[in-house]
Amino acid sequence: MTNFNTRLVHPPVQDDNNTGAVNVPIYQATTFAFPSVETPGKDDYSRSGNPTRRALEEQLADLEGGVAGFAFASGMAAIHAALAIFKRGDHLIVGQQIYGGTFRLLHQFFQRWGLSITTVDTRDLEAIAAAIRPNTKAIYFEPVTNPLLHVTPIKAVARLAHQHQLLTIVDNTFLSPYLLRPLSLGADIVIHSATKYLAGHSVVSAGAVIVNSQELAQRLYFIQNALGSILSPTDSSTLMLGIKTLGLRLDRQMANVKQLIHYLRGRPEVQQIYYPGIACQPGYPTLHQEARGAGGVFSFELDEETVDPVKFVNSLHLFKLAVSLGAVESLVELPSRMSHAELKPAEQRAAGIKPGLIRMAVGIEDYHDQLADIQQAIKHAHQSKEEL
């Protein structure tokens, strides 16, 4: 088997009519002619299978070490498909800190469908064990949460799950298979918002599900084909192009994160930093055992008595004030006013979301420019505070 970075550039070989193309062609076709009634071809209708999407799906399975991969039109479509394998009356254990869209899908859609859900801190194995019921079918969590970057040990959770014949479902969006491969640690299903690190350029919306067994592959294929929320051939090709540079981008992003944290740790305005990629941080030992790195996102808390967090994010220029993460450009978010704005102040604080919490998704720009942008924004926020 070739090494991982080589497999990022060279997906599994596809039959492309022997043209010699170094990239998989975009098969922009909705239907495929049968050679004859007696001998149907490999594909018949693009919702059911498309050569470009299949190349991507085979590469995703290869990178995650799975049996099969499935590409969807968005991360939420991928999550929907993974959860649609369950039926009315089933019970799921879900991490307390999950993506807001996942929380909404679970509580405003699947609960109406008849699924019951218990949320727990998945770092606490005793809490997970206590939540298991006779009808529990799976444990769903993010190994590194957003925006506080809490770390859950995949191997320990998967071991507990398998003792009770439960599936382990892991959203690996934050780290990607370059840094973490949950299936190798005992997980059964891996989900990605491929819009983020896998695509990496803020130009395509995509999702992925990778499974570790043929039985799960058959169930996911039925759902993908039945629901039809597939990734188009053009977007599949764009995503494959992004995957080629995944390792290069993440190495640069993580190097930039560490430079910025080194600066922020010395600033009196910064009260707390959240990033399990440095040794002094909670979660580092667990993550260090299971992953190659902590990714390109980190958070920190500003002292509201010293600087105005709203003015800070509004004063940034290089860091764009925007949701999402994982792309080549740097983004910043104020969770209390953006991703968690639906929560009341007391609910935000209970979740650890303080008004001064800043989340940064660091890009591949020169870190000197990133640092200069942060420095001028802190200075501007200081000036604004003194005027109040």
Residue 161 is part of a domain; what is its CATH number? 3.40.640.10
Contact 381, 370 (CB under 8 A): no
- Tell whether 58 and 150 lie within a shared domain: yes
Distance CA 377, CA 116 (A): 45
Distance CA 116, CA 374 (A): 44
44 in catalytic set: no
User: Of 99, 197, 274, 275, which one is the catalytic site residue?
Assistant: 99
| Nearest CA among 339, 312, 364, 334 for reference residue 102 | 339
Contact 229, 74 (CB under 8 A): yes
303 in catalytic set: no
The most distant pair of C-alpha atoms in the chain lies apart, rounded to whole Å, by 81
pTM of this prediction?
A: 0.95
- Tell whether 65 and 132 lie within a shared domain: yes
- Tell whether 193 and 55 lie within a shared domain: yes
pLDDT per 10-residue tile (average), the chain, 388 residues: 90 74 90 87 90 96 98 98 97 92 90 94 98 98 96 98 98 98 98 98 98 98 97 98 98 98 96 95 95 98 94 97 96 86 73 90 98 97 61
- The residue among 179, 213, 244 that closes a domain is 244
- The residue among 224, 244, 264 that closes a domain is 244
Kindly tell me the burial class for residue 358, based on how many C-beta atoms sit within 10 Å of its own C-beta (0-12, 13-18, 19 or more). Answer: buried
- Tell whether 261 and 231 lie within a shared domain: no
Q: Exposure pattern of 9-23 as b/e (b: 16+ CB <10 Å)?
A: eebeebeeeeeeeee
- Tell whether 161 and 307 lie within a shared domain: no
Angle made by CA atoms 16, 5, 183, in degrees to the nearest 5: 90
- Tell whether 27 and 94 lie within a shared domain: yes
- Tell whether 64 and 40 lie within a shared domain: yes
User: Of 47, 155, 159, 219, which one is the catalytic site residue?
Assistant: 47
- The residue among 209, 244, 279 that closes a domain is 244
| Nearest CA among 196, 172, 194 for reference residue 183 | 172
359 in catalytic set: no
- Tell whether 83 and 199 lie within a shared domain: yes
Residue 377 sits in a domain whose CATH number is 3.90.1150.10
Distance CA 142, CA 169 (A): 9
Angle made by CA atoms 210, 214, 218, in degrees to the nearest 5: 80
**Structural domain tally of the chain?**
2
- Provide the pLDDT for residue 80: 97
Q: 174: left (phi > 0), else alpha (psi -120 to 50), else beta?
A: alpha
Strands in 320-321's sheet, in edge-to-edge order, are: 270-274, 297-302, 357-361, 331-333, 320-321
- Tell whether 87 and 236 lie within a shared domain: yes
| Nearest CA among 151, 158, 149, 197 for reference residue 176 | 197
Contact 140, 191 (CB under 8 A): no
- Tell whether 122 and 222 lie within a shared domain: yes
Query: 3-state SS string over 277-302?
Result: CCCCCCCHHHHHHHCCCCCCEEEEEE
Distance CA 137, CA 122 (A): 16
- Tell whether 275 and 148 lie within a shared domain: no
The range of the structural domain enclosing residue 273 comes to 246-387
- Tell whether 67 and 116 lie within a shared domain: yes
User: Of 43, 62, 171, 373, which one is the catalytic site residue?
Assistant: 171
Distance CA 294, CA 285 (A): 11
- Provide the pLDDT for residue 341: 65
